[in-house]
């Protein structure tokens, strides 16, 4: 069985993703600390909406953040 080493992201990559109004799936993965399949599953379930631009799916940052504020809303 072959194991591959997962490349850790740099602080610059995270900081760059933190200020963008739209995120690529890769950037959403970095911020969430999840894999590509997890983000794509959330998109397929309708939990995250995307727009298609410049040949890739983009996630509006506000929608991405709302996913967590709505999910973990305390009363």
Please tell me what DSSP assigns to residue 47.
S
Is residue 10 a part of any domain in this protein? no
Is residue 8 a part of any domain in this protein? no
Is residue 59 a part of any domain in this protein? yes
Is residue 11 a part of any domain in this protein? no
What is the span of the domain harbouring residue 31? 16-71
Is residue 54 a part of any domain in this protein? yes
- For each successive 10 residues of the chain (75 residues), what is the average pLDDT? 57 72 88 88 89 88 81 54
- Tokens describing residue 16: 């760059």
3-state class of 73 per DSSP? coil
Predicted confidence at residue 75, as pLDDT, reads: 54
Predicted confidence at residue 37, as pLDDT, reads: 92
Q: What tens digit of pLDDT does each residue of 19-33 get?
A: 788 899 988 888 888
Query: How many domains is the chain built from?
Result: 1
CATH number for the domain harbouring residue 40: 1.10.10
Predicted confidence at residue 64, as pLDDT, reads: 84
User: What is the C-alpha to C-alpha distance for residues 57 and 38, in angstroms, rounded to an integer?
Assistant: 15
Predicted confidence at residue 66, as pLDDT, reads: 84
Is residue 2 a part of any domain in this protein? no
User: What is the C-alpha to C-alpha distance for residues 31 and 13, in angstroms, rounded to an integer?
Assistant: 9
Predicted confidence at residue 19, as pLDDT, reads: 75
């Amino acid at each position: 069985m072959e194991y591959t080493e997962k490349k850790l992201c740099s602080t610059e990559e995270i900081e760059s993703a933190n200020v963008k109004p739209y995120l690529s799936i890769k950037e959403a993965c970095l911020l969430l600390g999840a894999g590509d399949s997890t983000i794509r599953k959330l998109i397929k379930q309708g939990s995250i909406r995307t727009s298609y631009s410049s040949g890739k799916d983009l996630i509006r940052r506000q929608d991405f953040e709302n996913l967590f504020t709505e999910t973990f809303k305390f009363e």
